Amino acid sequence: MSEPTQERFLTEVANHRMTVLIDTATHRHLHFSDGTMNMHFMLTTWPGYLCISGDMGCFVFQRLKDMFCFFRGERINVSYWAEKIQAGSWREHSPKYARERVCELVADETIPADHDEYDRLDYCNPQDLIEHLMESGYQDAWEESFMVPTYHYLWCLQAIVWGIQQYDQANVNKLLQGVA
């Protein structure tokens, strides 16, 4: 599956609307949906935690008392935010990335390039791949990771940022209507 680009994500949530179920300080429960269960999600916060759950998976993060402050902004920080995960699997083995990484190791002469056995390797099996790299003389093979962020994790990060933007915009609109 390809990476969820921002353009694709925005198309997928174009008809989503926010329903506020709870909104008291750092306790929030927001539901985003187009009226179906397709790619619906919820943002739930309590002091120090944010949980995103729904059709695209479930992740729980811990960092600041108000987690909306942690995730506010335009820039998604995939690896730093992953360090804050308390629950949810965010990475998976990628045979494609494993093959690319082995090609890099051959190109920079970390492993010998004088044989075509790399074309016959089972890139779907990380254990065998690491053992083969060790046998080829690459002693740091155990430090290699052929893991990449999952599609669902990347999608959920975009959903968190977008959902908080929708929440903030709704609150700005409430303030403006109260002033008018």
Confidence tier at 59 by pLDDT (50, 70, 90)? very high
What gap in Å lies between CA 37 and CA 121, rounded to an integer? 41
> Is 60 exceeded by the pLDDT of residue 150?
yes
Residue 21, classed as helix, strand or coil, is strand
Backbone angles phi, psi at 44, to 5 degrees: -125, 125
Q: What percent of the chain has pLDDT over 70?
A: 94
Say which DSSP state 118 is in: G
Mean pLDDT score, 140-162:
91
pLDDT tens for 86-114 read: 988 999 888 889 888 888 888 887 777 76
Cβ neighbour number for residue 1 with a 10 Å cutoff: 7
pLDDT at 2: 66
Residue 154, classed as helix, strand or coil, is helix
What gap in Å lies between CA 39 and CA 32, rounded to an integer? 9
Domain ranges of the chain: 6-90+150-179, 97-148
pLDDT tens for 13-58 read: 999 999 999 999 899 999 999 988 888 999 999 999 999 999 999 9
> Is 90 exceeded by the pLDDT of residue 178?
no
> Is 60 exceeded by the pLDDT of residue 72?
yes
Q: List, in sequence order, every beta strand (DSSP E) within the chain.
A: 17-24, 27-33, 41-46, 49-54, 59-62, 85-87, 91-93, 147-149
101: its two tokens: 């990484």
pLDDT at 1: 54
**pTM score, two decimals?**
0.83
Mean pLDDT score, 141-166:
92
Would you give the distance in Å from CA 168 to the centre of its chain?
A: 22
Task: Report the chain's mean pLDDT, rounded to a whole number.
Answer: 88
Identify whether the C-beta of residue 137 lies closer than 8 Å to the C-beta of residue 111: yes
Residues 6+ apart with CB under 8 A from 67: 26, 45, 48, 49, 50, 61
Confidence tier at 179 by pLDDT (50, 70, 90)? low
